[in-house]
Amino acid sequence: MNGFRRIDAAVGRVYAGVGTLVGISIGLFALAIAADLVLRLLEWGNLPGMQEIVEYALYVGVFLAAPWVLRLNAHIRVDLLLSGLPRALRAALERLLDLAGIAISALMFWYGLQNLLAAKAFGAVQYGYYEVAEWLLLTVFVAGFVLLALEFLFRMIRAGEAPEALDDAEGGF
C-alpha cells in the first residue's frame, strides 16, 4: 500500500498544479476582460479574440480540474441519504457510487474518443476568431474523463477519504 500512497501523492501534486494554473488563468481572465473593456470605452480598439480565448481556457480548466475537485471532496454532493445510514452501509454505498463514477467516466471516455477519432479523420475545425481543430478540444475531454476514472478508482482504494481535505481540516493549506 506504500507504493499506492506515493503514486496517490504524486497524482495529488499534479492535480494541485493544474488547479493552481486554472485559478491563475481565471484571475488573468478578469484582468484581460477589464483591459478589453477599458480599451473599448476609450475607443482605442479591443483585444481581438479575447472572448474566444477565455471560452477555450475555461473549457480546458473545467475538464482538467474536475478530478482535483473530486479529490478534495469539493464537488457538489447531496448527503441527505448518506448521513442517515450506518457507517458500514454508508461506506459500501460510497464505493458503489465511486464504481458508478468509474463506469460513467469510462463511457464518456469512449464516447469522446470515438468523436476525437472522427474529428481527426474528417479534419473538423471550430471556426471563430481562431480556427481550432476539434480533435484538440476533444483530447481535453478524453483526458479529463481518464483522470476522473482514475480519481474514482483512487477514492475506492482510499475508502472515500480525501487526503488533502483532511490536511485542510487539521489547519494545513
Distance (Å, rounded) from C-alpha 134 to C-alpha 119? 6
Contact 164, 9 (CB under 8 A): no
Task: Record the pTM.
Answer: 0.84
Contact 128, 52 (CB under 8 A): yes
Task: Tell me what pLDDT residue 170 has.
Answer: 43
Task: Tell me what pLDDT residue 162 has.
Answer: 62
Q: Which grid cell is 22?
A: 486554472
Q: Which domain holds residue 49?
A: 2-169
Q: Which grid cell is 2?
A: 506504500
Task: Tell me what pLDDT residue 81 has.
Answer: 76
Count structural domains, the chain.
1
> Which amino acid is located at 144 in the chain?
G
Q: What is the pLDDT along the chain (173 residues), one digit of tens a residue?
A: 688 889 999 999 999 999 999 999 999 999 999 999 999 999 999 999 999 999 999 999 999 999 999 998 877 776 777 778 888 888 888 899 999 999 999 999 999 999 999 999 999 999 999 999 999 999 999 999 999 999 999 999 988 566 665 454 444 43
Q: Which grid cell is 73?
A: 471532496
In the chain, where does DSSP find H-type helix? 2-41, 50-71, 80-83, 87-122, 134-157, 163-169
Distance (Å, rounded) from C-alpha 8 to C-alpha 20? 18
